Structure 1
């Protein structure tokens, strides 16, 4: 992290901490900083904050389709680009780093060293390409069904995937990711996930609920892969879970939309 203001010692403020979390995960000009300990106490609220990000992305998709008269594929690519830019490409390094760590042969210590290395290997680049291209394809699929609210659902569900991985993981310390993992417990996870599921159902009926289920499944898979390869998890693992969670949410929604 570039700004040390996150580590300032101050009194806990829920509103300030939520705004700090949004500052941390987007490039929105909020510029509210709080200590990392206080900010991560509200990690379970992360999916709700990204409902707003998803709404902005959905507006971007709507404008692309209805006002610019672009086809669904071009609109999907623009929506994905918007999501990456507004989130400051926050998790893409996690996708590459975790993929590199998983691909290398060796014990967990060696895999962790590779994952934490600043250089990027072929496995990392290839995995990022696959995740990005499949996510664009998923967005294209739901836009082809005119399910533009699916953009909101997949973005908030991406954070549900991250929380699922955090809940099932043991933190690798030191590192920012360890704060998010330690602050995710079964009670706040269930509270967050149940509420997000209700919102997803209200937005997209069965298809919306399927999107959340896909993200949860993704979070479980990423947690299992991380445990088998690294034993412990860090911010890179959470970043991978976020990006793959968005993709799996879109996949599950696309399948549900076909059958309903």
Structure 2
């Protein structure tokens, strides 16, 4: 039992280091422990979601645009921009003409093109507008949506790791090669309780489902156009999953 707890602690440190900017003091073996335990994805997501939701506690106290900016800033400070870089790279790959090999070349190119600029602008603007939508909700509902969106996005990343196939050697192959379909149950089990936040309102469940669908969109595109997933696809899944989940949750509450 002690060895299992230590291994899980290493996995948690590795996952926190990869998914956030929080200081972790990683050690040798943490990365390997993390990629072999996909349940860590949604677990770290719940921590990130909870911390990112702190500015939302000012709903009704501060002006809505200020609360929205605080949420956007919290996401940036907690998670950094390396996942957003995946959005940029996929944006450039999406607009280039050519086959899968040509698109994979663009992914590795350090030049920033118009596709990257547009993709990042859409995601950042969408996140800011989602924050504005959260600021219009009751505090408890806003927090539930923020947490569920983060967990759903990370669950999507876990499913990519368990079910995805890498397009080439690199980050994607290191993650997808560590686990398989038999590992899907554990991240799903960790994520599902979040759907009960705000019960009996289904807003958290809708948010979680929306984030999962959003995270799968880059995966679907990559299978058709890249021949599999890569590190950039994982990053884009995180950002787009969060974005779709947030908007799904705000819409669900508005229409309820």
TM-score category of the 2 structures, normalised to the smaller one: 0.7 to 0.9
| TM-score relative to the length of structure 1 | 0.87
Structure 2, unmatched stretches of 5+, are 1-5
Provide the C-alpha distance between the structure 2 equivalents of 1:24 and 1:49, rounded to a whole number of angstroms: 10
Deviation at 1:193, TM superposition (A): 2.1
CA contact (8 A) 2:215 2:236 kept: no
| TM-score relative to the length of structure 2 | 0.88
Do residues 127 (structure 1) and 123 (structure 2) align?
A: no
Match of 2:36 in 1: 41
Do residues 197 (structure 1) and 192 (structure 2) align?
A: yes
CA contact (8 A) 2:19 2:44 kept: no
Match of 1:179 in 2: 174
CA contact (8 A) 1:219 1:241 kept: yes
Q: Deviations over 1:145-169 (max 9, x none)?
A: 1222221111222212222334442
Deviation at 1:186, TM superposition (A): 3.0
Q: Which residues of 2 match residues 1-260 of structure 1 at below 5 A?
A: 13-35=7-29, 36-63=31-58, 65=59, 69-146=61-138, 147-149=141-143, 150-203=145-198, 205-260=201-256
Provide the C-alpha distance between the structure 2 equivalents of 1:224 and 1:154, rounded to a whole number of angstroms: 20
Root-mean-square deviation over aligned CA pairs: 1.9
Provide the C-alpha distance between the structure 1 equivalents of 2:78 and 2:218, rounded to a whole number of angstroms: 24
Provide the C-alpha distance between the structure 2 equivalents of 1:92 and 1:117, rounded to a whole number of angstroms: 16
SS in 1 for 2:197: helix
Q: Is the alpha carbon distance of 1:181 and 1:175 closer, same or farther for their aligned partners in structure 2, counting shifts above 3 Å?
A: same
SS in 1 for 2:23: coil
Match of 2:3 in 1: none
Q: Deviations over 1:25-44 (max 9, x none)?
A: 22212212333332211233
Q: Is the alpha carbon distance of 1:39 and 1:195 closer, same or farther for their aligned partners in structure 2, counting shifts above 3 Å?
A: closer
Deviation at 1:90, TM superposition (A): 2.5
Provide the C-alpha distance between the structure 1 equivalents of 2:178 and 2:252, rounded to a whole number of angstroms: 33
SS in 2 for 1:43: coil
Structure 1, unmatched stretches of 5+, are 1-11
Name the count of aligned residue pairs: 246
Provide the C-alpha distance between the structure 2 equivalents of 1:127 and 1:168, rounded to a whole number of angstroms: 26
Provide the C-alpha distance between the structure 2 equivalents of 1:214 and 1:175, rounded to a whole number of angstroms: 29
Deviation at 1:178, TM superposition (A): 2.1
Deviation at 1:130, TM superposition (A): 0.3
